Structures are given as C-alpha cells and as structure tokens.
Structure 1
Amino acid sequence: MNAVTSQLVMGIIPLVIGIGLIYWIKRRKFYRRNAVGAEGFSSFEASVFIRFIERVGRWIAYALIILGILLIWSWRQMKKDKEKKQQQVEVQSTR
C-alpha cells in the first residue's frame, strides 16, 4: 500500500468513527425519552454527568469528521499532483 492509498484510508477511518459516534450518542438520547418526550435519568448527578460526557463526545466526533475530510481532501490533492506529474513525464518522453 503506497502513501497515497494510506492517506485515503487514514481519512476514511476518522470520518466513519465520527459519524458512528454521533449516531450512537443521538440513539442513546432517543431511547432515554419516555412516552411524554422527557429524558429519564436516575438522579440529577447522572443527568449532569451524562449530558456533559455526550457534549464532549459530540465535539470529539465533529473533530474526527473534520480531520477525516481534511485527510481525504489532501489525498485528492496528492492524487491530482501525481497525475499531473505523470502527464508531464509522458509529454516529455514523446518529444
């Protein structure tokens, strides 16, 4: 596996993890709701702690998504540069 392909893989992994983390947090929040639509917690402390952890988890997920997008973008730029250099070499070899 060359550097360009590993760059793509390293972009996809955080992107998928970030999206999965947001999905998991939102799913947990959905299933905590009762028939009235209010979230049910065992205590006030649990409510504060769980909400704080989920907020931190969402920020981490957003950071992973941004990192994944940036890595995929840089992979695309590297691929374009590599193709451009290859075309230049082909043009020079035909002269």
Structure 2
Amino acid sequence: MQASAATVSSPQPARRDPIAELIAPSPRVLAIQRALADFGYGQIKPTGNFDAATRVAIEKFERDRKLPVTGQISERFVRELSAMTGRPLE
C-alpha cells in the first residue's frame, strides 16, 4: 500500500495585533519629540512613544505660544511647531 501524499500546509497570514500597533513607535511622535528637544522644551528622549515628558513639553510649548494648553498632539499644535522649526513634522 502506498503512503498518501503529505499535506503541505501554507503559512498562516500574520495576525494583526492591535495592542502592538498602539504601543509601536510613531514616526510623527518621534519628529515632534526631536523638534521639542531641539528647541529647548524639555529633556525628551525621542522614542516615538507619547509619554509624560512629551506631554509636559507640549504643554510648555502651548503656554509659550499662547495656545490652549492641552498637552496633546493636535493639528494646530503640529502646525505651530512646524512653523517655528521651519520643517515638516511627518
């Protein structure tokens, strides 16, 4: 009796991990952190992850620029920071 052909399994497609996506470094956050650090808005380690130091630096920038203090990355904040640095933050 002949052995049946071995079943060849195809690799499973990579599963999407929503948690990993949430904690993965963001190029935009990294650019913002670098700009804030370059212009003296705190001892920020550019990691690409939004953290407390980044929030505090954003709040300081917002106060200095007479913006509403939110500590968040908003489109208005990005426009103001980009205008100040003279470079896009993407």
Does TM, scored on the shorter chain, surpass 0.5? no
TM-score, with normalisation over the residues of structure 1? 0.25
Greater helix proportion: 1
Return the structure number with greater relative CO, CA threshold 8 A, min gap 6. Answer: 1
